[in-house]
Amino acid sequence: MLAADVKLLKPANVNLIETDVEELDITNFDDVKKFCAECQPELILNCAAYTAVDKAEEEVGTAYAANEAGPKNLAIIAANLQIPFVHISTDYVFFGDGSHPLSETDTCAPQGIYGKSKRAGEFAVENAGGKWVTIRTSWLYGKNGHNFPDTMLKLASERDKLTIVNDQKGSPTYSYDLAEAIWKLINKNATGYVHFSNSGHCTWFDFAVETVSEAKKLGIIPKEKNIDFVPVSSDEFKRPAPRPSYSVMSTEKYTEITGAPPRSWQEGLHAFLKEKLGVGR
């Protein structure tokens, strides 16, 4: 999902060498070393991750392989080649029991296996000995992958009643905007941890309501269709993996580095829905 938008927004002077699991298993150090020796990159950008939050509780080894071992191998190779390494992480590295936007220096205390494996990957990148930037993002959605807005649109077309969690707060992030942010941070030679999401925050309930409301305006869903939205608590909607109740991140550092504050989550969502119709962003 993210890599497709990274490619779409690639600067003209950049030669992007794409690879996926079919060509390269990043959890195999020797394979990574050989691949990089052949293509001689000047920067490594890792968009790969295991992101099935609930399934990670059962597939622990797979989650850690993709989210810790893979980034570790890439970061070590980047350090050995003396080139920058760019890594993508998540708001789920935080416990999420606060009420103020989280900064890059706030304490991490992930709850579930997904968050713990991503935090382990952050540690591995930090300790590899090279030049790195880890960009944390949240509630990511985009054109080229399974995502929350598409799920809501599908359910809204099939049902008259939607039950949505209303006690988890975060910042939805359009993958197109994250890809644009990645290139800006690379251009600015950013290092360390940087938070990026679309600005503002909402609950999953708010996100669903805004998605369907805007979809009706655009004609994606019939305007006359009535949908009853029912807010519920996390306790009423049990999931295998725990989620942060508040994982809104501060993007002040990103704005200071780039001079470009993120657009609002509503603007990002509206752009995504317009893209689905093929009428631009």
Q: Radius of gyration (Cα) for the chain, nearest Å?
A: 19
DSSP state of 97: B
Bridge partners, 45 (sequence order): 86
Instruction: Give CA–CA dist 79/32, Å, rounded.
Output: 13
CB 253 within 8 A of CB 104: yes
- Annotated catalytic residue within 114, 141, 176, 254: 114
Question: Is 254 among the catalytic positions?
Answer: no
List phi, psi (to 5°) of 218.
-85, -10
The amino acid at residue 195 is H
CB 30 within 8 A of CB 75: no
Instruction: Give CA–CA dist 84/226, Å, rounded.
Output: 51
Residues 6+ apart with CB under 8 A from 234: 165, 167, 168, 243, 245
Bridge partners, 133 (sequence order): 86, 192
Instruction: Give CA–CA dist 246/195, Å, rounded.
Output: 15
Burial of 42 (0-12, 13-18, 19+ CB in 10 A): exposed
Residues annotated as catalytic (active site), given as ranges: 114
